[in-house]
């Protein structure tokens, strides 16, 4: 009983131990906050990548693709139907998107073009969650309401606002074309400007047309464009604030240049932008473009005409959604056994994004090691403080031994003291860390207000709020590790106190 009483007295009266408690508290709280934020970022990133790529991807090794996607999808359902909730065929190629800038010139941008069927794509990934017209969003601090209802199915139709914007732009180009033609008619033939290399653009065609019925005519090609391609950031000369400006809006026509299947040759088509999407991953938002599958198959020559008058189209990948992702290894084994490795590559989304996910895991591990050194430093502080207490209390230790206290009893006093320091520090650290995580977005806003500089800008990190995820298992091991470090730091001082001889201790000054 005397051991516990002494430990409690030292804990209440030895204010120097407060430094050790604070250092353990800060170390534990820091590790909990960092782990929660890193886990939140990792979880959000994984969810968004998985939403874009689906659970399992069956890719053709040739960019020419394989024919008859329906037969291949039916084969997949027969082989692993009990594990699968959806499957869709896509064509994925590199391309160049050219759009008209505000300075009336055309700007090319390399993109990754993915041809999809929206209805089946919605079965394998949350594409509707990314399309801007399906949910409200903020532009330059202004809330933009959703233009479509979540009950509407995915498709390639323009919203009324986009149609109105397109018609207004077509009317403008038609007027400008008439004015340009009038000016050209007044010039000498040799002074005429060369023809526009993008004269086949629908905007120019419509502008030069005398038939008002052609104004705003939609193209066969339809696109979903990432917000990183559709917008750019610039400083407003009047307010000096950074604002988002639109380069491409729903209803605009752009030119897509790609290459044909078989012997590569340049191919292009004009497409109407139906919507923009925001995944929160800059790699996709600034590089990914979705188009309608039948248009890209037609342009690339991925259609084979059969003798019976029917046609068969080609695909380059099949995206598969599982009922339970835990079944992915089983499905992978089944598909690899039945799809030729010479023609197909079967991977999960994690295997396809292996380098990126591995980099995040390595970064998180290194950060945890560095932060755990903070708690280790606190352990060395406990070690130094305990040695000082042993020296200071040498006579008291001698009295205890003279009264009959055993060496193990004296040793247990300091070990219990270290345990209590660790428990108090770790408990306080857990409380502070969880409280910080819970109010992290409010704290971020306060720091932004106090410093005048945005700490977590959405335009850089693509998150409206700081994502967090508290793992109880991680919290437990962080707290347990801190307590163990405090106990181990008290072992050497406890052994020294236990080995003191009563006579020498009583004579110590």
The string of pLDDT tens digits covering residues 174-188 is: 787 788 788 877 775
Phi/psi of residue 165, nearest 5 degrees: -65, -40
Pair of tokens at residue 204: 């120019």
pLDDT at 509 over 70: no
pLDDT number for residue 352: 81
Neighbours of 471 (CB within 10 A): 14
Residues 67 and 37 in one domain: no
H-helix or E-strand containing 290? strand 288-292
Pair of tokens at residue 96: 């160049």
Residues 280 and 149 in one domain: yes
pLDDT number for residue 211: 41
Q: Is residue 203 part of a domain?
A: no
| pLDDT, tens only, 219-278 | 888 999 988 888 877 776 776 676 777 788 888 889 999 998 888 889 989 999 999 988
pLDDT number for residue 97: 93
Report how many domains make up the chain: 2
Residues 396 and 477 in one domain: yes
Q: Is residue 195 part of a domain?
A: no
Q: How far apart are CA 174 and CA 180, in angstroms?
A: 10
Residues 331 and 394 in one domain: no
Pair of tokens at residue 79: 């082989």
Pair of tokens at residue 372: 């755990």
Q: What is the largest CA-CA distance in the chain?
A: 121
With bands split at pLDDT 50, 70 and 90, how would you rate the model's confidence at 500? low
Q: What percent of the chain has pLDDT over 90?
A: 18
Q: How far apart are CA 491 and CA 266, in angstroms?
A: 75
pLDDT number for residue 293: 92
Quick check: helix, strand or coil at residue 268? strand
CB 90 within 8 A of CB 317: yes
pLDDT number for residue 200: 44
Residues 385 and 492 in one domain: yes
DSSP 199: T
CB 397 within 8 A of CB 505: yes
Residues 103 and 26 in one domain: no
CB 320 within 8 A of CB 326: no
Q: How far apart are CA 272 and CA 216, in angstroms?
A: 10
Residues 120 and 225 in one domain: yes
| pLDDT, tens only, 311-330 | 899 999 999 999 898 898 99
| pLDDT, tens only, 75-91 | 999 998 899 998 999 99
DSSP 317: E
Residues 378 and 296 in one domain: no
Residues 473 and 444 in one domain: yes
pLDDT number for residue 138: 62
Range in 63-77, 98-112, 420-434 with the lowest mean pLDDT: 98-112
pLDDT number for residue 272: 92
| pLDDT, tens only, 123-142 | 888 888 888 888 776 665 56
Q: Is residue 473 part of a domain?
A: yes
Residues 154 and 295 in one domain: yes
Partners of 58 in the β-ladder: 318, 346
Q: Is residue 164 part of a domain?
A: no
> Which residues, in sequence order, are CB contacts of 128 under 8 Å at separation 6+?
122, 134, 150, 154
The pLDDT of 22-51, averaged and rounded, is: 83
pLDDT at 289 over 60: yes
Q: Is residue 497 part of a domain?
A: yes
What is the extent of the structural domain holding 234? 62-158+218-342
C-alpha dihedral sign at 270, 273, 274, 275: positive
Cite the beta strand spans of 303-413 per DSSP E. 303-305, 311-315, 317-322, 344-348
pLDDT at 284 over 90: no
Out of 307, 342, 377, pick the residue that ends a domain.
342
H-helix or E-strand containing 58? strand 56-60
| pLDDT, tens only, 371-424 | 777 778 777 877 777 777 766 666 666 666 566 666 666 677 777 777 888 888
pLDDT number for residue 318: 92
Out of 313, 342, 371, pick the residue that ends a domain.
342
Bigger pLDDT: 190 vs 331:
331
Out of 285, 316, 342, pick the residue that ends a domain.
342
Residues of 198-228 as b/e, b for ≥16 C-beta within 10 angstroms?
eeebbbbbbbbbeeeeebbebbebbbbbbbb
Q: Is residue 33 part of a domain?
A: yes
With bands split at pLDDT 50, 70 and 90, how would you rate the model's confidence at 153? confident
CB 418 within 8 A of CB 16: no
Q: Angle at Cα 260 formed by Cα 289 and Cα 66, nearest 5°? A: 85
| pLDDT, tens only, 412-432 | 777 777 788 888 888 999 999
Q: How far apart are CA 331 and CA 399, in angstroms?
A: 72
H-helix or E-strand containing 331? helix 328-338
pTM of the model: 0.72
Residues 233 and 133 in one domain: yes
Residues 372 and 254 in one domain: no
Q: Is residue 72 part of a domain?
A: yes
Neighbours of 71 (CB within 10 A): 11
């Amino acid at each position: 009983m005397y051991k516990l009483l002494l430990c409690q007295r030292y804990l209440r009266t030895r204010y120097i131990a407060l430094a050790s408690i604070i250092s353990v508290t800060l170390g534990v709280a820091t590790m909990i906050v960092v782990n929660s934020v890193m886990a939140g970022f990792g979880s959000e990133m994984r969810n968004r990548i998985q939403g874009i790529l689906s659970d399992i991807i069956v890719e053709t090794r040739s960019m020419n693709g394989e024919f008859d996607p329906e037969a291949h999808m039916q084969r997949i359902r027969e082989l692993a139907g009990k594990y699968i909730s959806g499957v869709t065929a896509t064509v994925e190629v590199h391309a160049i998107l050219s759009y008209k800038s505000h300075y009336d010139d055309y700007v090319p941008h390399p993109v990754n073009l993915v041809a999809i069927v929206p209805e089946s794509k919605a079965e394998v990934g949350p594409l509707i969650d990314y399309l801007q017209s399906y949910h409200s969003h903020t532009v330059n601090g202004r809330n933009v309401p959703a233009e479509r209802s979540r009950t509407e199915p995915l498709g390639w139709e323009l919203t009324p606002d986009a149609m109105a914007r397109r018609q207004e732009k077509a009317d403008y180009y038609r007027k400008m074309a008439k004015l340009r033609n009038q000016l050209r008619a007044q010039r000498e033939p040799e002074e005429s400007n060369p023809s526009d290399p993008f004269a086949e653009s629908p905007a120019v065609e419509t502008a030069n047309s005398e038939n008002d019925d052609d104004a705003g005519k939609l193209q066969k090609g339809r696109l979903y464009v990432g917000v990183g391609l559709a917008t750019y950031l610039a400083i407003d000369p009047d307010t000096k604030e950074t604002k988002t400006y639109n380069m491409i809006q729903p209803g605009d026509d752009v030119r897509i240049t790609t290459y044909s299947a078989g012997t590569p040759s340049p191919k292009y088509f004009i497409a109407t932008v139906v919507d923009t999407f925001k995944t929160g991953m800059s790699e996709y938002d600034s590089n990914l473009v979705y188009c309608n599958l039948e248009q890209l198959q037609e342009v690339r020559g991925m259609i084979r005409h059969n003798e019976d008058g029917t046609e068969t189209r080609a695909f380059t990948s099949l995206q598969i959604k599982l009922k339970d992702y835990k079944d992915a290894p089983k499905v992978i084994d089944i598909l690899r056994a039945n799809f030729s490795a010479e023609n197909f590559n079967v991977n999960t989304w994690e295997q396809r994004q292996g380098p990126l996910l591995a980099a995040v895991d390595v970064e998180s591990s290194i950060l945890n090691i560095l932060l755990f050194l903070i708690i280790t430093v606190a352990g060395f502080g406990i070690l130094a403080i305990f040695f000082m207490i042993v020296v200071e209390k040498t006579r008291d230790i001698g009295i205890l031994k003279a009264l009959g206290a055993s060496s193990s009893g004296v040793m247990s006093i300091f070990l219990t003291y270290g345990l209590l320091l660790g428990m108090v520090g770790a408990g306080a650290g857990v409380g502070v860390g969880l409280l910080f995580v819970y109010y992290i977005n409010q704290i971020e806003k306060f720091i932004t207000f106090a410093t005048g500089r945005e700490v977590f800008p959405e335009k850089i990190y693509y998150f409206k709020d700081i994502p967090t995820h508290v793992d109880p298992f991680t919290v437990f091991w962080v707290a347990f590790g801190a307590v163990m470090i405090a106990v181990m730091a008290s072992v050497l001082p406890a052994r020294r106190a236990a080995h003191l001889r009563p006579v020498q201790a009583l004579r110590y000054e």
